[in-house]
Amino acid sequence: MKIFNTRQLFHTVSLTSFVMGVYSTINGVQAKELQEQLNKANNRNELLHAKISDLQDKSIQSLSENSQIRASLDEVNKTFTEVNETVNTINNTSNSEVQSSIIEDKMDELVSNVSKGRDIVEKLIDLINKGSGDGSSSSNFLDSFSELSSFISSLNIEQSLALVHISGSIAIFLSLLTIISVFYGNIIISYLKLETRFPKFKKLIELRLKFQNYYLLLNIFIILFVLVGIVYVNIIIILH
């Protein structure tokens, strides 16, 4: 039973890490796309500024006596200079203020979901510790989980993508172990005739048979969920 609880615990942690990694990767891609768009806008503004400067030089040479045209060109040049300075200011602060503001607005739902996932893990740990009577292990694990959450938030896109694949693979592996135990457990029970040899475990075996379909469907759903998540994240990476 302790081994089973440990496997469930790792299963929950791997799924939580997978979900957090997916969100981290998606937000990293969005932040990168925002930075690229800002750089493109800055480049376009610099090209326009260069064209205006060239036009100003040519106009001054050919129409040096026309003060009205010269004043208009000066005003246009001043306007583009101010725009260029504004874009540069935004570009310099995009990695902290602007980017953080935009991402924070989009991360509200993520923070809520991660908090809910953490609450579920805490409840699971409390249930396990009630059976073992050891409360210190729960505190140590939650500290480790908090460190894991901080670590994931500091990863770049490539590292987040690697975390998605690793945690997803672990979740699939554990689900496959559960499915294998469901299929081959009945074979072993029938082959060894455990119900006949150990009548005390008959009720436990019958209870296991009632829940085996539930475990089977749950783990199939987990595998499909992880695979769809991995495909979705990789499609986003390819398109961006």
156-168 confidence digits (pLDDT tens): 777 778 888 888 8
Higher pLDDT, 145 or 156: 156
Mean pLDDT of the chain: 68
pTM of this structure: 0.48
- Specify the higher pLDDT residue, 139 or 103: 139
Q: What digits encode the pLDDT tens for the residues 23-43?
A: 777 777 777 777 677 777 667
C-alpha Rg value of the chain to the nearest Å = 30
3-state SS, the chain, equals CHHHHHHHHHHHHHHHHHHHHHHHHHHHHHHHHHHHHHHHHHHHHHHHHHHHHHHHHHHHHHCCCCHHHHHHHHHHHHHHHHHHHHHHHHHHHHHHHHHHHHHHHHCHHHHHHHHHHHHHHHHHHHHHHHHHCCCHHHHHHHHHHHHHHHHHHCCCHHHHHHHHHHHHHHHHHHHHHHHHHHHHHHHHHHHHCHHHHCHHHHHHHHHHHHHHHHHHHHHHHHHHHHHHHHHHHHHHHHHC
Cα separations in angstroms, 13 against 44, 149, 151:
46, 11, 14
pLDDT of residue 216: 86
